[in-house]
Structure 1
Amino acid sequence: MKRAVSISIGSSARDKKVEINLLGETVSLERIGTDGDMEKAARLYGELDGKVDAFGVGGAVLGIMIEDKWSTMHSVQSLIKYVKTTPVVDGTGLKMTLEKQVTRVIDEDLNGYVKEKRALVAVALDRWGTASAFLDAGYECIFGDLMFAMGMSIPLRSERAVRNMAAALLPVMSRAPFSWIYPTGEKQNQREPKFEKEFNWSTVVAGDCHYLWRYMPEQLPGRVIVTNTTTPADKEFFKNAGIKYLITTTPVLDGRSFGTNMMEAAIVAALGRKQAVDYAQPDDYFADMEAAIKAVPFRPQVQAF
């Protein structure tokens, strides 16, 4: 049996372990949360290094990829400082491949339900594949990078605006504590509804589940949510908010959808890859991910309420 482990600085309340058959291999998937304790997470990586087949970095990202340009998040690198052997991924391999399918799934599976193409993408820098998919499909978009990650009521309305923001802020953001821009530990359990105007404007809301749960209004009837890492409690929340369709970009396994980092680690484990994953110099890595996604096959999953 292959073993893939996602060590997350998020809440331990979301921990889960399942076994799946993937590309002809039985793979154990395990998510371990450390409730915001980065040093505890680093120790766990060190203790399990060489004993598991692949690691996923949960609750954080090792870097930001816009098209083929990679910017390292320096403040996160300490998480994996003790890893010497086991390949480490953070979900970028699926964000740049699988998540590009979301607009096609909306078109094919929702039978024309989305008539006005207006998408609120929580953080484009974190999910460039999703953001570019909506742009390519002709959606009018609001990108909430400054809103959701920085707490500023400044919506971005074009790809150019996102790129300009990235050029200005990534050098600073990459060295700031990750907790400044993303809820970790107990903060993941605290609701703070805001940006109601932008949520109500949208017909589709896409982004990290923690961001959406934290900030969306109590009621958002008729909308389509595109996200992942959903638990049964998350699904109940979206249902009670009046959401019509929930699209998870990773498959639902035993009641929940794991993060892209967990599923990418599972693929790496199933493929038997031993060499380190370098997103800055990926060679054929993204092509290998694309081929694996088709072979499984993985496809964003639709749940109707």
Structure 2
Amino acid sequence: MKRVVSISLGSSKRNHKTVVKLGRDTFCIERIGVDGDKQKAIELIGNLDGSVDAFGLGGTDLYIYAGNRRYTFRESAKIAAAAKITPIVDGSGLKNTLERRVVNYLARHEDIRFKRKPVLVMCAVDRFGLAEALVEAGSQTVFGDLMFGLGLELPIRTLDGLARLARVIAPVITKLPVRWFYPTGDRQNETKPRFRAYFAAAEMIAGDFHFIRRHMPECLDGKLIITNTVTAEDELLLKERGVRTLVTTTPDMGGRSFGTNALEGMLVAAAGKRPEELTANEYENLLNEFGIAPRIKHFDR
């Protein structure tokens, strides 16, 4: 059995462990939250290094992308450096492949129309592949990076604008503590609505679930949510807020969806390669081989 452990700066209340089968391999997948304690994350990785097949790094990003550029978070890199033997991934190597597929999958299998539909993407530098796919599908996108990351009511509406923003702010924010602009620890369980008008105007809301949960309004009637990791409690909350359809880019594993970092860790372990050795085409082939598809839940049926 292969073992993949996702170490997250997020809340320990969201911890989960399950066993799943992919192809010929069986995986034990475990998510361990450290409630924002970076030193604890480093110690856990150090203690498990060499005894597991892959680490996922959750509750933070190691890299963000915009266009052809990649930016490294200094704080996250220090945590990842505790893994001397076992490969460690944050999901970014898989996101561009996995999340691009979701838009096409929904159009083909669910007959969901994206052309001219208003879509709010909470933070696009964290989901650049998804952002590009939505734009290519003809959506009227609003990128909320400055709104939900920095609290500035400055919506971005084009990929060029997003790339220009990334070139300016990414070298700065990647040197700052993650907690300044991303909810970690118990803050992941808090909801403080802001920029309600942008939620109201959107038919679809896409992006990191912790950004969505922290900033969403009380009413999300009829919305379609495209996101990543959610628990059963999260699903109930979204249903109560009136969400019509929930789409998670990762499949159901033991009653919930894990983060992209955990899925990338599984694929790295299955391939038997270091993450830097895997190309986008290889990730695509692995997703096809294992039949990885988004999870879709209609709350109105």
TM-score interval, normalised by the smaller of the two chains: over 0.9
Retained in 1: the 8 A contact 2:66–2:166?
A: no
1:123 positional shift? 0.5
- What's the counterpart of residue 292 of structure 1? 286
Q: How does 1:143-158 map to 2 (within 5 A)?
A: 143-158=143-158
Task: Give, in angstroms, the shift of residue 47 of structure 1.
Answer: 0.4
- Say which SS state the counterpart of residue 184 (structure 1) adopts: coil
Deviations 1:34-53 (A, max 9, x none): 00000000000000000000
- 1:267 alignment partner in structure 2: 267
The alpha carbon displacement at 1:68 in A equals: 3.5
- Is the aligned partner of 1:131 residue 2:125? no
Which residue is equivalent to 1:98?
98
* Residues 1-305 of structure 1 mapped to structure 2, 5 A cutoff: 1-112=1-112, 116-273=116-273, 275=274, 277-278=275-276, 284-305=278-299
- Separation in 1, partners of 2:67, 2:290: 25
How many Å apart are 1:168 and its aligned residue? 0.9
Partner Cα distance (2:23, 2:271) in 1: 8
The answer on whether the counterparts of 2:20 and 2:28 sit within 8 Å (CA) in structure 1 is: yes
8 A Cα contact 1:94 1:289, kept in partner = yes
The two structures have a TM-score, normalised by structure 1, of 0.94
Give CA deviations for 1:72-96 in whole Å, capped at 9, x if unaligned.
Answer: 1112111123211101110012211
Secondary structure of 1:247's partner?
Answer: strand
Q: What is the deviation of 1:266?
A: 1.1
How far is the alpha carbon of 1:112 from its aligned partner? 4.4
Kept in 1, the 8 Å contact 2:115–2:139? The answer is: no
Aligned partners of 1:186, 1:112: CA distance in 2, in Å?
35
Indicate if the aligned counterparts of 1:114 and 1:203 stay in contact, CA closer than 8 A. Answer: no
Q: Which has the higher contact order (CA 8 A, sep 6+)?
A: 1
Amino acid at match of 1:178: V
Q: Secondary structure at the match of 1:96?
A: helix
Deviates more, 1:103-112 or 1:158-167: 103-112
TM-score, normalised via structure 2 length:
0.96
Percent identity reads 41
The answer (yes or no) to whether the contact 1:9–1:36 under 8 Å persists in 2 is yes
Structure 2 counterpart of 1:187, one-letter code: R
Alignment gaps of 5+ in structure 1: none
Gaps of 5+ in 2: none
Partners of 1:113 and 1:91 lie apart in 2 by 27
Aligned CA-pair RMSD: 1.4
Deviations 1:14-43, CA, capped at 9 Å, x for gaps: 001111111310111000000000000000
Asked whether the 8 Å contact 2:36–2:184 carries over to 1, the reply is yes
Q: CA deviation at 1:171?
A: 0.9
Aligned residue pairs, count: 299
Deviation for aligned residue 1:284: 4.4
